[in-house]
Amino acid sequence: MQSIHRLDLLRTSIEAWRDGGETIALVPTMGALHEGHLTLVREARTKADRVVVSIFVNPTQFGPNEDLDAYPRTMEADAKLLEAEGVDALWAPDAGTMYPDGFSTSIAVDGVSADFCGASRPGHFAGVATVVCKLFNQVQPDIALFGEKDWQQLAVIRRMARDLDLTLPDADSIHGVPTVREADGLALSSRNRYLDETARRQAAALPAAMREAIGKIEGGTPVADALAELEATLLEGGFTRVDYAALADAASLQRIDALPDRPARLLVAAHIQGTRLIDNMPVGPRR
């Protein structure tokens, strides 16, 4: 595996692969890799000849009081994991490469960005869209893979790619991978490592309460009641704040208060022991 830190060297590798007629998959990450990331990598290997994984802790997607400084940085261990997975290139640019002096551009994706994490983390999705657009331009992949754990992020990136002609409109080139979970149901996340043993055990209440709420909604309980019970369960179970717990149209991310015929999603962000966890699950049609 090549570890690449300079854009000109990345371009040289990309051009050589292209000249050889090979296809390229990109897996963007912020490092601190776990089985969720490695699942994306394994799927990427089945979809393209070459796999590039980027690791960049992107400052512009963190708010002023968020965990940019504390975010785990484990580059050496990450590189070993990626090497073992047969990744072709680790693209690890520094902040100066991504944001050269005078950097003045930002991509705002309206609509899908507005609610949920967009509301509780102002500026977050502009930071994500801008850095992902740059990564796409740098790597020029045939396919890019993202986790469904960050459901709204996936919707924002799909919208941006379609709006800015970054991919062909009908191709599955922004590929979503189902959330990988621990045995107790908690979605794998780099931020889980902030939790002590007690908070980690309590955190499993999040997916459990979500499954319970989905059962109620699918069984006919009014959505508002099921969501209020979900929030109360979390606050009784060790969570200190719920940023949102909502039912939304799975594609447009518009809030809905009753089950539609189209696919819907239950989305939650909640804080435990100072750590903000997010999760989402599909909600089926009313029984």
Ligand X SMILES: Nc1ncnc2c1ncn2[C@@H]1O[C@H](COP(=O)(O)OP(=O)(O)OP(=O)(O)O)[C@@H](O)[C@H]1O
Ligand Y SMILES: CC(C)(CO)[C@@H](O)C(=O)[O-]
Give 103-158 as a DSSP string: -------TTTTTSTHHHHSTTHHHHHHHHHHHHHHHH--SEEEEEGGGHHHHHHHH
Residues within window 15-54 making contact with ligand X, judged by CB under 6 A: 29-30, 36-37, 39-40
User: Are residues 139 and 240 in contact, defined by beta-carbon separation less than 8 angstroms?
Assistant: no
C-alpha distances (whole Å) from 10 to each of 52, 55, 78, 128, 138 are 10, 14, 19, 21, 8
187 binds ligand X, rule: CB under 6 A:
yes
Contact (Cβ atoms closer than 8 angstroms) between residue 175 and residue 47: yes
Nearer to ligand BAL, 7 or 188 (CB): 188
Applying CB under 6 A, the span of 17-25, 159-167, 177-185, 224-232 interacting with ligand X comes to 177-185
Residue 179 touching ligand X (CB under 6 A) = yes
Residue number with CB closer to ligand X (30 or 248):
30
Does residue 78 bind ligand X (CB under 6 A)? no
- Kindly state the DSSP code that residue 226 receives in the 8-state scheme: H
Output 34 or 255, the one with its CB closest to ligand BAL: 34
Cβ-based neighbours of 175, under 8 Å, separated by 6 or more:
43, 47, 143, 144, 145, 146
Residue 45, SS3? Answer: helix
Determine the Cα–Cα distance for residues 121 and 66; give it in Å rounded to an integer: 9
29 binds ligand Y (CB under 6 A): yes
- Residue 206 touches which of ligand X, ligand Y, ligand BAL, none (CB < 5 to 8 A by kind)? none
We find the least distance from the C-beta atom of residue 68 to ligand Y, in angstroms, to be 12
Is residue 144 a contact residue for ligand X (CB under 6 A)? no
Among candidate residues 56, 89, 87, the one with its CA nearest the CA of residue 73: 56
Q: Which residue has the tokens 């740098």?
A: 138
Binding residues vs ligand BAL (CB under 6 A): 61, 150
Q: How far is the CB of 22 from ligand BAL (least distance, A)?
A: 28
Closest residue to ligand BAL: CB criterion? 150
Active site residues: 37
Number of residues that bind ligand Y (CB under 6 A): 10
CB nearer to ligand Y: pick between 13 and 152: 152
Binding to ligand X by residue 60, rule CB under 6 A?
no
CB contact at 8 A, 63 and 122? yes
40 binds, among ligand X, ligand Y, ligand BAL, none (CB under 5 to 8 A by kind): ligand X
Cα 245 from Cα 231, distance rounded (Å): 7
**Contacts to ligand X by CB under 6 A:** 29-30, 36-37, 39-40, 146-147, 149-150, 177, 179-180, 187-191
